[in-house]
Amino acid sequence: MHPYFSPRINKQILLIVCLLCSMTAQAELVSDTETGKKTMSKFMINLAKFVTFPEDSFADASSPYKYCILGNPVMGDALDAAVAGKTVKNRAFSISRIATGGADDLKSCNVAFVSLPTTDEVADVVDALSGTPVLTVGEIENFAGYGGMIGFYGKGRKIALAINKKRLEAGGLKGSSKLFRASTM
């Protein structure tokens, strides 16, 4: 096989092309549609089912999952409605919106939904949270490629996950086999 067409080179070229294409200042978001918001909210509940957090991530056995939304709060209302009255592993949910700030505001969260307008801002936040037990989730194109743990992509009801297993495990989090089966990365 010619060296220019080796699978390794092709993967590297594809990665470079994907990174260059996703370096736009604004990205189309999955939650731009009402159906997308509802579908992602259901996924967000399931993340609590399929991700195991370190024991010291919670004050006690009844502490709620603390979900934080950084940046655009577009997911807030849909997530509030989705978690109302729900529990997972005997824990309720607490939803906080963080309009501005950065990673320091997220370090007390279990799940950080990062919805910032530029890829540079997203990369800064996920890099600052690297190695912490905060599950970083986002919906910009190639979120997992920028170092986030779980990235949503698709539209409406047809949403899939890209999971950065290396970052997930580096934060002391464990994903179940069901979580990884839903992933495309």
**Strand order in 93-98's β-sheet?**
93-98, 65-71, 111-115, 135-138, 150-155, 158-163
Contacts of residue 78, Cβ cutoff 8 Å, sequence gap at least 6: 31, 34, 37, 38, 40, 41
pLDDT for 27 equals 47
Q: For residue range 38-89, list pLDDT tens digits in order.
A: 888 999 999 999 999 998 999 999 999 999 999 877 788 889 999 999 999 9
Kindly report the average pLDDT of the chain as a whole number.
Answer: 82
Q: Count other C-beta atoms under 10 Å from residue 102's C-beta.
A: 15
pLDDT for 9 equals 45
Task: Please tell me whether the overall predicted TM-score, pTM, comes out greater than 0.85 for this model.
Answer: no
Q: Tell me the three state secondary structure of residue 41.
A: helix
Q: Cα-flanking dihedrals φ and ψ of residue 90, to 5°?
A: 65, 25
Which amino acid belongs to residue 156? Answer: G
Residue with tokens 């024991």: 55
| Residue numbers of the chain with a pLDDT score lower than 70 | 1-32, 101-102, 156, 184-185
Contacts of residue 142, Cβ cutoff 8 Å, sequence gap at least 6: 18, 19, 22, 119, 151, 162
pLDDT for 180 equals 87
For residues 95 and 155, what is the distance between their CA atoms, to the nearest angstrom?
23
For residues 67 and 79, what is the distance between their CA atoms, to the nearest angstrom?
9
Domain 26-181 in CATH 3.20.20? The answer is: no
Q: Cα-flanking dihedrals φ and ψ of residue 175, to 5°?
A: -95, 140
Q: Tell me the three state secondary structure of residue 46.
A: helix
